[in-house]
Structure 1
Amino acid sequence: MENQMVHTLINPQNGNLAFKIFSFEDDSYFDHIQRNNYYSLIWLQGNGIVKADFSEYEFTGNSLFAFSPYQPFMIRSKKQVTGIALHFHPDFFCIHKHQAEVACNGILFNNIYKPPFVEINQEASPKLKVLIEQMRAEMQNPALAQYELLISYLKIFLITLCRLKAEQQPDTFIATADVREPFILQNLKDAIERDFKKKHSASDYAESLNISAKALAKITKGHFNRTLTELISERIIIEAKRELYLTNKAVKEIAYELGYQDEYYFSRFFKANVSISPQMYRETVGFGRSMLN
């Protein structure tokens, strides 16, 4: 791709990264676990493996990975891999606040059922490159309404990726040998979405779906490459992060709404999955830091 150029905007209020674009020519930037407090879009050309959360994903050719704040990931490649990274902090652009305009939450980000990447085809590639160059040019020449223009370019970039991913992954449940499995998996998704605030154990969902826990575990692992417990935990964490970011509710209140009577147990659960405490998450990316300006 382009030569190695780095363009960075810093939040003047707190000194944190707000928006950044850079090119890279090997995997040295990402060859160790990343747990960033901002969103990351990593456009890769080459072959290798990306580790994210509990799974590994092989990439070949032209792929773009999307990661949420504090989502762990790393990249490994045996041969040269080049790419472009685009980072933006939730204070710069909050996908939750802009969900009505850019429906990327649940498609690009925070989807526990789909792989976190999209294949960039020949039609989309030049469009995305033009948007990246427009963002780079705007960052080099600060002028009136710079923030508004960058946000506009970023929105178009995200919408383009969302449309592409929706085309490529319309329904992962169709391709299965067992005609019964798609219904079980869809029912499981619906059940988790409906009950994750009150049902936290895998056995609860097996019972409600009228299937043995062992059989459900095998199906879940086979299709999502995650255990049922991991799926439930990820959905709880997504909601906890949303509440910590968008509201000023006490951690104790959020814990209670998510089905945890013990605030400290919830905090340990959150830290085990995110690597920082709920309060630290709020202070670095959430309501307490930005006050939703």
Structure 2
Amino acid sequence: MTSEPNQTLVNPQTGHLAFKIYSIEGNNPFDHLQRLNYFSLIWIQEGSGTAKVDFASYSIEKDTLFSLSPYQPFMLDAEGGIKALVIHFHPDFFCIHKHQKEVACDGVLFNNIYSPPMVQIDESAKGNLQMIIGQMKEEVQNQALAQYELLVSYLKIFLITASRLKTEQSDEEMSEVEGEQPFVLQKLKDYINEHYKTKHSAGEYADMLAMSPKALAKLTKTHFNKTLSDMIAERIVIEAKRELYLTDKTVKEIAYELGYDDEYYFSRFFKKKAEVSPQLYRETLGSAKAKMN
């Protein structure tokens, strides 16, 4: 891996960005819709406005950390300038799927269909994260022995700290939900995770929960800010992305495992949701086979 002056590491095998860390102040490079082919962490340190992610809107507030997966559409519509810390990393540099047991951020920070793609950084975590960022910025310019290993270690600590924080905040939010709704919402999560490969319609989940589709639709919109159909589709696409990256299965094989007999119908479905074809997704993210991590 080689280093550039702007704190970017490039994968010498592909020539693509591997890791980048930088600060922005005043200017806003995310003021238009973007779909980046790597993971992004954007820590808003000053500024306000609206973030649009997956076409849902969220408030931009001080000390909010946005966590974005490859090809996840987003933009930051800030009121004036913003001050932020940005980390980009490609799956070739660090694959959250392969290291799930070590980091546990997949399904928490990233690829979480049940929670907004952000976490509020509290004062207790702030100092630790700032210290890790300082170490990353220093190491990214230091082409010494084991630079890659040390940077990955810092990134892991950052991801673990943020994931723990988000889990705590999610638990607190769920404890505030009234009546039987927490039970229903948890059962819905369990059913989606268990049946998304075979049950693709919202009505099937309403039947399993013994609820009317209308009542379930209202509940999911209230608590997840999205439709149940969108949640099911997101879960399918997340699994397809994992398979495209982690395995050398054909698109046809992946489609069949996810409950689609027609490879071309599945490819159209994937492209509609991910804004990129399965083939291009695999080409730009590569495959986990024979990677540096």
Normalised to the residue count of structure 1, the TM-score between the two structures is: 0.94
In structure 1, the partner of 2:243 is: 243
Distance 1:68 1:219 in 2: 26
SS in 2 for 1:44: strand
Name the aligned partner's letter for residue 148 of structure 1: E
Identity %: 59
- Measured after TM superposition, the shift of residue 182 of structure 1 is 1.9
Q: How far is the alpha carbon of 1:212 from its aligned partner?
A: 0.7
CA distance in 1, matches of 2:286, 2:113: 21
Provide the residue aligned with 1:220 in structure 2. 220
After superposition, what is the alpha-carbon deviation per residue over 1:101-150, rounded to whole angstroms, capped at 9, x for unaligned?
11111111111001111111222222111111111111112111110110
Output the CA distance in 2 between the equivalents of 1:292 and 1:117.
29
1:267/1:278 contact within 8 Å kept? yes
Q: Is the partner of 2:41 in helix, strand or coil?
A: strand
Instruction: Specify the SS of the correspondent of 1:169.
Output: helix
Q: Secondary structure at the match of 1:15?
A: coil
Q: Which amino acid aligns with 2:56?
A: S
Which piece of structure 1 moves more, 196-205 or 51-60?
Answer: 51-60
Instruction: Give, in angstroms, the shift of residue 26 of structure 1.
Output: 3.3
Distance 2:125 2:224 in 1: 27
> How far has the Cα of 1:185 moved from its partner?
1.2
- Residue 262 of structure 2 corresponds to 262
Structure 2 alignment gaps of length 5 or more: none
* Secondary structure of the corresponding residue to residue 61 of structure 1: coil
| Conserved 8 A contact 2:28-2:81 | no
The secondary structure found in structure 1 opposite 2:123 is coil
Match of 2:189 in 1: 189
* Structure 2 counterpart of 1:55: 56
- What pairs with 1:1-293 in structure 2 (closer than 5 Å)? 6-26=6-26, 28-45=28-45, 46-170=47-171, 172-177=173-178, 179-287=179-287, 291-293=290-292
CA–CA separation in structure 2 for the residues paired with 1:144 and 1:60: 39
Contact 1:27 1:75 in 2 (8 A): no
CA contact 2:96–2:105 (8 Å) conserved in 1:
yes
Letter in 2 for 1:130: M
Amino acid at match of 2:256: Y
Q: Alpha-carbon deviation of 1:180?
A: 2.5
Whole-angstrom distance in 2 between the partners of 1:61 and 1:232: 32
- RMSD (CA atoms): 1.5
Q: Distance in 1 between matches of 2:142 and 2:60?
A: 35
Structure 1, unmatched stretches of 5+, are none
Contact 2:119 2:162 in 1 (8 A): yes
C-alpha spacing 1:118/1:86, structure 2 compared with 1 (3 Å): same
Whole-Å separation in 2 of the counterparts to 1:172 and 1:286:
37
Q: What is the total number of aligned residue pairs between the two structures?
A: 287
2:28 and 2:82 in contact (8 A); partners too: no
Q: CA deviation at 1:30?
A: 0.4
Query: Hey, what's the Cα distance between the residues in 1 that align with 2:88 and 2:111?
Result: 16
| One-letter amino acid of the structure 2 residue matched with residue 151 of structure 1 | V
Moved over 3 A (4+): 289-293
Name the aligned partner's letter for residue 150 of structure 1. L
CA distance in 1, matches of 2:177, 2:167: 19
